[in-house]
Structure 1
Amino acid sequence: MTNEEKMLAGKLYDPEDASLQEQRTKAHRLCQEYNTLFDDQTDKRRQIIQELIPNQGKDVFFQGPIFFDYGSNTQIGDHFYANFNLTVLDTCPVILGDNEFLGPNITLATPMHALLPAERNLHEVAGKQVAFEYGKPLRIENNCWLGSNVVVNGGVTIGAGSVIGSGSVVTRDIPAGVLAVGNPCRVLRPITEADRLELKKELW
């Protein structure tokens, strides 16, 4: 297996592989270019996002600034919105569904490292200094809202229609249709018909 194949499969791989470095450099450059553009430079912004994230649906919007490690390992559905400062470390697949709403300062992080320092630090393999890592994919199903400053770790699936409260750190799967908050993130309660805006008279 190549290092890229190992990376995407969640196996130990060498992140300093030349091909992976080239892909990251391209993605980082595209992100930097996007981050220098103004909101009304829509055509140029769209071109960059299409090159950065080839696998995307319609009506995908990033307020920016953004940061992707690869972009090509991220899949986005239709009607996606991300506010300021989205970071996606997509060493493994990141799958984002339809009608997603991401608040500011969201981090989606798939990379994993050894817990033991001796395994995490640089060591020599075949005459080369290597710090192996691995990853775990993450998935956010359709119709989710992540509040500001949420971190989603690799290996996690957030079920359809769920809301993750601001500042939460999601370290385990979240079922569909719930409000979940905290660090680590835990289910607070189901989302029900009682949550309809039309019932909140103070808003009208």
Structure 2
Amino acid sequence: MTEKEKMLAGMHYNSRDPELLAMYHRARRLLQTYNNLDTMNGDETVSLLNQLLGHKGENVWINAPFFCDYGEHISIGENTFINTNCIFLDDNKISIGKNGLIAPFVQIYTAGHPLKASERTLDPKKNTGSYITYTKPVSIGDHVWIGGNTIIMPGVTIGDNVTIGAGSVVTKDIPDNVLAYGNPCKVIKSL
């Protein structure tokens, strides 16, 4: 099993694997061009996003700068708007539905590490700087608004028609049709 296959299966894997590093550097090159592109250059913007993302629906708009690890594990539904300075660590699948609004500085994480320091390093004796990582996918439904500076942790599913208040840390699943906010994020009321 390759490190990429382990990564997508949620198993412990080496993020410094040559195949993963090649994917990472490819995404970095595309992001560097995208983040420095004139906003009036719509055709090149669409082309770069199509090259970077696993799936991009019609009329997706992502304000630069935008950051991700690989890009190819991100799926964004039609008419979704992603504001400036968002970070999507797509070491596993990130799925965002249609008609979404994602405010500035939203962070979506799919990767984590063992809690014990002695279990995080692949070979502590060699001090290689290679760390054990695991992943869990993140899924965000249709018609979701995520407020600025929100952090979404690995493995979280956010339902349809949800509003997440600014500054939230989403550590657990959020059901459909609710307002939720806080640290940790919790359901405040039905919508």
Give TM-score, length-normalised by structure 1: 0.89
Separation in 2, partners of 1:29, 1:66: 13
SS in 2 for 1:167: coil
Separation in 2, partners of 1:84, 1:76: 16
User: Who is 2:147 aligned against?
Assistant: 147
Where structure 2 has 5 or more consecutive residues not aligned to the other structure, the ranges are none
User: Who is 1:194 aligned against?
Assistant: none
User: Who is 1:201 aligned against?
Assistant: none
SS in 1 for 2:23: helix
Report the structure number with the largest CA radius of gyration.
1
Separation in 1, partners of 2:41, 2:150: 28
Structure 1 runs (4+) greater than 2 angstroms displaced: 127-130
Question: How many percent identity over aligned positions?
Answer: 38
Give TM-score, length-normalised by structure 2: 0.95
User: Who is 2:75 aligned against?
Assistant: 75
Separation in 2, partners of 1:116, 1:78: 41
Show CA shifts across 1:61-117 (max 9, x none): 101100010110111111110011111000011111111110111101100101001
1:98 aligned partner, one-letter code: K
User: Who is 1:160 aligned against?
Assistant: 160
* 2:33 paired with 1:33: yes
Show CA shifts across 1:8-59 (max 9, x none): 0100001010000000001011111111012111111111111001312111
Where structure 1 has 5 or more consecutive residues not aligned to the other structure, the ranges are 192-204
CA-atom RMSD in angstroms: 1.5
SS in 2 for 1:181: strand
User: Who is 2:24 aligned against?
Assistant: 24
Separation in 1, partners of 2:29, 2:156: 28
